[in-house]
Structure 1
Amino acid sequence: MALPNIFNKEVSDQIVERINKLTPQSQPLWGKMNVAQMLAHNNVTYRYVYEPEQFKKPNFLMAWVLKSFVKKTVVSEVPYAKNTQTGPDFIIKDERNFETEKNNLISFIKRVQSEGEKTFEQRESFSFGKLSAVEWNNMFYKHIDHHLTQFGV
């Protein structure tokens, strides 16, 4: 079954509505991150797209490992399991500002939606090579949906 399309304004607006239900006091149903850390964690996906210079590109061997073993998990329609291991760039241990991270995430989601599917079709990803628009959608949607569900919204 296809995931909801994050490039569709109605779907992205629903995600933003869910984000806006979060408060600095929101508690996770599982996992170790607080709500601000979760928002920062989700922002990494979008920062890879729009701020790749902020990150170290994987070397040849790591790129091969990511494409061969991680890509399918990230871009498929299969939901993430709870407490799934994540990549080093996605581990947020320091305290973050809730409002800043929330506003950044909403801006990223709106930007992706406004740029549309055509912009992402066969676009090079930071870790997985070229992805189809469907793969980009799956990566964006299922990650944010997983973590919003983690926080009960």
Structure 2
Amino acid sequence: MALPNIFTNTVSDAVIQRINQLSPSTQPIWGKMSVDQMLAHCNVTYEMIYDDIHQKPNVFMKFILKMLVKNMVVNEAPYKKNNQTAPQFIIKEAKNFEIEKKRLIDYITKTQQLGESHFDSKESHSFGALNKIEWNNMLFKHLNHHLTQFGV
């Protein structure tokens, strides 16, 4: 079963509507992150796509990530609760809820506007070139996981 296509207006708008249901006081159903940290955590994926502010893995680590992690990230199976995450995705400090929320919505909108053809065969920060389905699965699945974590 294919995941919803984050590159379509319908799906990206629905995800943004879910984000807009969050407030600074929204509590997680599971996990330790606050809602502002979760938004910042979700932004890391897009920072890796657009902002080039995270160190890229070396050749050996990229090989390991491709062999051991990639399939779990790009397949259609949902993430398990309380999975481990990569160090650059761990947000320890409090963040500004409104700033992180706006950043995430802007990233989702930009991604949708660029469209799936922009992402087909685009190089991933950690996994090498991904096809448009793999990009979709990675982006949608991660957002859906964390929005579900916060009850929206």
The residue aligned with 1:108 is: 107
Q: How far apart in 1 are the matches of 2:79 and 2:124?
A: 20
For structure 2, list consecutive stretches of 5 or more residues without a partner in the other structure: none
Q: How far apart in 2 are the matches of 1:25 and 1:95?
A: 13
- Following superposition, which runs of at least 4 residues in structure 1 exceed 6 angstroms of deviation? none
Count of paired positions: 152
Q: How far apart in 1 are the matches of 2:31 and 2:87?
A: 16
The residue aligned with 2:23 is: 23
CA distances 1:42-92 after superposition (whole Å, capped 9, x unpaired): 00000000012x111101111111000000011000100000000000000
Q: How far apart in 2 are the matches of 1:122 and 1:150?
A: 30
> Does residue 121 of the first structure (1) align with residue 125 of the second (2)?
no
RMSD: 0.4
Which residue type is aligned with residue 102 of structure 1?
K
The residue aligned with 1:36 is: 36
For structure 1, list consecutive stretches of 5 or more residues without a partner in the other structure: none
The residue aligned with 1:61 is: 60
Normalising by structure 2, we get a TM-score of 0.99
The residue aligned with 1:144 is: 143
Deviation, 1:148, is 0.2
